[in-house]
Structure 1
Amino acid sequence: MLELASVLAGPQVGQFFAELGATVLKVEAPAGDVTRTWKTRAETTDSDVSAYFSCANWGKQSVVLDLTTAAGKEQVQQLAARADVVVASYKPGDAEKLGVDYATLRAQNPGLIYAHLTGYGPAVARAGYDAVLQAEAGFMHLNAKPGQEPQKMPVAMIDLLAAHQLKEGLLTALYHRCRTGQGSLVQVSLLDSALASLANQAASWLVTGRDPQPLGSGHPSIVPYGTVYAAGNGRSLVLAVGADRQFRHLCQALGRPEWATEARFQTNEARVAHRAELESLLQARVAEVNGDELLSQLEELGVPAGAVRTVGEALALESGQQMLLPTAEAGFQGLRTVAFQSSSWPRAAALVAPPHLGEHTAEVIAGQE
């Protein structure tokens, strides 16, 4: 795979295939992927491998080529002639200027699968940025408490959604090539990926004609679901009660079985209609109990609930440890992008660390000669 992509969405796809055993050549401009410089204040090292860069670049080789020069253009075209897949994230028109567009590369490699990621589609020459797309696609509007300002997601959610769309497109193209021998052009935009992921919120508007309104972490059609409760011992927790039976068990665990028999709370439809009253009762009651004991009891009763954890706490769990990529050479661990397990495809035990800028340039270029 030849990765002509930077930042997050395209590189996430590259790491995904690296974890599945592909050789991934990451072509970087002389200045490098910009995320090499995106460091938090906690990062004191002067390494060109930032935490952000490391989240999407395990298992790759870094090759520095200047595609604005004739030599760089020739070298990347030679690499593309031997590639199974090219992943590019150029603005519409830029790939053509650099000589790395699908038509140019396909002429040398008819079976090539070329994935092109854009912000707004191949006809709109506008750069796509995750935060802007979160705003424009409705995510920020919904991600707020009533009356409070819209909030961006704490991760580049639209980039990640687009990466999943790109993976799916590439996997179907690979299957198509196995069946027909033909290559493909796969086009994915951040905007389409975002809109496709609005799911029930989009359906609500399409069905009712009414815009979904911000509910904080609450759910528009299920109560109680997603709201954060503070327990008496300081534990914050969420409930995900999707069935009347589960609500009855919740009331039992809270020592308030009579709530489940009240007409205003007896069914989910009634609970949605009386959301404010129920949430007020739950907030007050949960504040009186030990959150950890309540979570344990709810698990026994089959009521979906969980503690609000920090990122570190989540990764420290046994389930979190299974998603880490251990390696001695990097000095730190990485996070897997492959979250499925298959009897027909082994999971990567480890990957080489994210590469330093241009670390493999000489080796790769020499291999072409």
Structure 2
Amino acid sequence: MPPSSSAAPDALPLPFADLLVLELASVLAGPQVGQFFAELGARVLKVESPAGDVTRTWKTSAEAAETDVSAYFSCANWGKQSVVIDLTTPAGQQQVRELAATADIVLTSYKPGDAEKLGVDYDTLKHRNPELLYAHLTGYGPDTARAGYDAVLQAEAGFMHLNAAPGQEPQKMPVAMIDLLAAHQLKEGLLTALYHRARTGRGSLIRVSLLDSALASLANQAATWLVTGHDPRPMGSGHPSIVPYGTVYAAGNGRGLVLAVGADRQFRQLCAALERPEWAADPRFQTNEARVTHRATLETLLRQRIGEVDGDALLWELEKLGVPAGAVRTVGEALALGSGRAMQLPAAEGGFPGLRTVAFHSSAWPQVPALSAPPRLGEQTDELIAGKV
């Protein structure tokens, strides 16, 4: 029976408190999914080769050389246990098969065919565990044995082409966005599979590719080509069908700011805040359609006027008027805000804080507790051998 509605929320367990996740994936997309489940209560056992997840070595020049927990590794590996197993050996393969026999979820990111060579593919593992959910992340799908790398997928799926100012070279986004989009697809697939298993008692194979995840996320840019037959043009941070939206303006006090004016009413309020009410009455700018047509003229006027005012005062006035706008902040400035601090995982003793992957809240479970810090390579291997993990 479901718990009584009068039960105290803090008495309820986290939603995945009874799940065991076996993570055979590395780098970012798969481990992000692993941390997602760890944050919501699952026990996540990260199986690493003797060399470890490659991201342990991806360090900036500011990081300490003596630790094997890099900033990059820490962005996706909180709350896990690390065990070293050599999957190139029969003994290592047998160890993983035994772990998978009691697992709820196995996360993998092998090139097509590699899991079969190692004897840890879905068809092999499901015989001992019919309820197993096996998540397989690839670059280009099950029929293409080509390794998938985020930067390459950003180029091939059209993102880099669009992420450029007119006349400038294409740019990669500063985070591995395709990996993160694929991680979300993998979470959705696994949550759907968990629901299916709860109803039928059967496990399943969930496949996600970086390419499909990227293409599915092109949204209005893809629709533009599908509907009109015209390829979307690079526009920097501007928007192809809304003006003013996304362009960065430099205010008189040096503050960089962005507007996201999606309605004619908001544009009228913007004009009032800038003390230029005549712009709202100008036929060239009265409607969004007209503003798109006369984009260059309006952008010139806005750049000139915003360059004359105090950016912080303008942002305050726009907030009062309900006009979407924001300051251009650094990462550090964003994380130092109250909202940024709330998303941080507390630092373990002698360590550094982390960032949550779970950005939603639910009345069905208590606040997500603190997680253990990203594990050192093989930190729980001895315990596993002793049967304590």
Residue 215 (structure 1) aligned to one of 222, 225, 235: 235
Change (3 A) 1:349 1:330: farther
TM-score normalized by the length of structure 2: 0.94
- Asked if the contact 1:327–1:352 (Cα under 8 Å) also holds between the matched residues in 2, the reply is no
2:177 alignment counterpart: 157
Is the partner of 1:367 in helix, strand or coil? coil
> How big is each residue's C-alpha offset from its partner over 1:160-194, in whole Å with a ceiling of 9 and x where there is no partner?
00000000000010011001000010000000000
Residue 341 (1) aligns with residue 352 (2): no
1:240 alignment counterpart: 260
Residue 123 (1) aligns with residue 110 (2): no
Q: Deviation at 1:367?
A: 1.5
Residue 226 (structure 1) aligned to one of 246, 254, 276: 246
Bigger mean CA offset, 340-349 vs 46-55: 340-349
Residue 325 (1) aligns with residue 342 (2): no
Give the whole-Å Cα distance in 1 for the aligned partners of 2:126 and 2:147. 25
Segments ≥4 residues shifted beyond 2 Å: 327-330
Residue 11 (1) aligns with residue 50 (2): no
Residue 311 (1) aligns with residue 331 (2): yes
Change (3 A) 1:238 1:342: same
Residue 108 (structure 2) aligned to one of 88, 98, 121: 88
1:140 alignment counterpart: 160
Is the partner of 2:66 in helix, strand or coil? coil
Residue 364 (1) aligns with residue 384 (2): yes
Q: Deviation at 1:42?
A: 1.2
* Structure 1 segments unaligned to the other structure (5+ residues): none
Give the whole-Å Cα distance in 2 for the aligned partners of 1:2 and 1:22. 10
Residue 279 (structure 1) aligned to one of 290, 293, 299: 299
1:97 alignment counterpart: 117
Bigger mean CA offset, 357-366 vs 291-300: 357-366
Give, as a single letter, the amino acid of the residue that structure 2 aligns with 1:155. V
Change (3 A) 1:205 1:330: farther
> How big is each residue's C-alpha offset from its partner over 1:37-74, in whole Å with a ceiling of 9 and x where there is no partner?
00001113420000000000000000100001011001
Bigger mean CA offset, 95-104 vs 347-356: 347-356
Report sequence identity in percent: 80
Change (3 A) 1:330 1:352: farther
Give the whole-Å Cα distance in 2 for the aligned partners of 1:29 and 1:322. 34
Residue 297 (1) aligns with residue 322 (2): no
Q: Deviation at 1:368?
A: 7.4
Residue 166 (structure 1) aligned to one of 186, 192, 212: 186
Is the partner of 1:350 in helix, strand or coil? coil
Give the whole-Å Cα distance in 2 for the aligned partners of 1:63 and 1:330. 22
Q: Deviation at 1:364?
A: 1.7
Residue 209 (structure 2) aligned to one of 182, 189, 197: 189
Is the partner of 1:364 in helix, strand or coil? helix
Q: Deviation at 1:362?
A: 1.3
- Asked if the contact 1:12–1:163 (Cα under 8 Å) also holds between the matched residues in 2, the reply is yes
- Asked if the contact 1:240–1:305 (Cα under 8 Å) also holds between the matched residues in 2, the reply is yes
Give, as a single letter, the amino acid of the residue that structure 1 aligns with 2:147. A
Q: Deviation at 1:347?
A: 3.3
Aligned residues: CA RMSD = 0.9
Give the whole-Å Cα distance in 1 for the aligned partners of 2:385 and 2:25. 19
- Asked if the contact 1:327–1:350 (Cα under 8 Å) also holds between the matched residues in 2, the reply is no
Change (3 A) 1:278 1:39: same
Aligned length: 369
Q: Deviation at 1:366?
A: 2.0
Give, as a single letter, the amino acid of the residue that structure 2 aligns with 1:300. K
* Structure 2 segments unaligned to the other structure (5+ residues): 1-20
1:252 alignment counterpart: 272
- Asked if the contact 2:22–2:45 (Cα under 8 Å) also holds between the matched residues in 1, the reply is yes
> How big is each residue's C-alpha offset from its partner over 1:266-289, in whole Å with a ceiling of 9 and x where there is no partner?
000000000000001000100000
TM-score normalized by the length of structure 1: 0.99
Is the partner of 1:309 in helix, strand or coil? coil
Q: Deviation at 1:348?
A: 1.8
Give, as a single letter, the amino acid of the residue that structure 2 aligns with 1:180. T
